[in-house]
Amino acid sequence: MRFPKRQLEVIVKQICQKNKIQFKSLSEGFILQLTKNNKTEYLYGYNFPCNNVTSSKICDDKAGCSEILTQNKIPCMEHVFFMDGFYKDEEVLAIFKKFKNDVVVKPNTGTGGRDVYHCKTKQELLNNIKKVLSHSINFTISPFYTYDTEYRLIMYKDKAHIIYAKQRTTEWRHNLGLGAKVNEYVDSNTVKKLNTIAQRCVKTLKIKFCSVDIAELKNKQYKVVELNGGVMMEKYSLANYKKAYSLYERVIKDIFAI
């Protein structure tokens, strides 16, 4: 049985038809093979070949990415890394105390809001770590912040081509797949501030095509939540197919120099 077809596959296939690029879906649609003028490139998951592999991997490493951003004085949410089998409960509880007994635990390289838990007691934390480690070999602990709006900037060549707010509903998380809504209205002053932060992120990590999630805290303070080396627009494309198509097309045309 084939997995449900992703929006990415639908869009990329249309782009290829328009631009006379040979298209082939492999590995249940998780790998897309594109060929033009005897040149073949692959899209893997939501990762495009225009990115440096190391930069993309760092973006997807929540703890490593936050450490690099902090080192470069870019405001971001701290993520403390732990590996299964190489930590003690005392170390975890020390971080819990440092973050004022209010934390989020999640896989270090997870996506989509899966296995993400808000913990306010020691027992909640220890129990939820076990849940995370039942599906992953590592986890991170970060401070919990209360905020209503998280912004996503989709960056290509140091520029934000798409900016929207992810406004949560009943869920405390801001994932579109968990019910958060897309709001494309972002005032110009906020756009300017977000752009400045996101541009610093991509230049620091030397990443060409990625998304940057930034939380708006109290008093208009902003912190980077995370970066994603793979650019997923599954839910966003349902809200604005034209913009999603246009950006994916621009990247693919640049890859083949057409």
Nearest Cα residue to 36 out of 21, 54, 49, 25:
21
CATH tag, 53-76+146-231: 3.30.470.20
pLDDT in tens, 20-43: 999 999 999 999 999 999 999 999
pTM for the whole thing? 0.93
User: pLDDT category, 1, cuts 50, 70, 90?
Assistant: low
DSSP 47: B
Dump pLDDT digits (tens) for 62-90. 999 999 999 999 999 999 999 999 999 99
Question: Which of 32-46, 83-97, 107-121, 219-233 bottoms out in mean pLDDT, i.e. has the lowest?
Answer: 107-121
* Residue 170: pLDDT band with limits 50, 70, 90: low
CB atoms within 10 A of CB 239: 15
Residues 6+ apart with CB under 8 A from 226: 59, 62, 65, 66, 77, 213
- Fold classification of 80-143 (topology level): Dna Ligase; domain 1 (3.30.1490)
SS3 84: coil
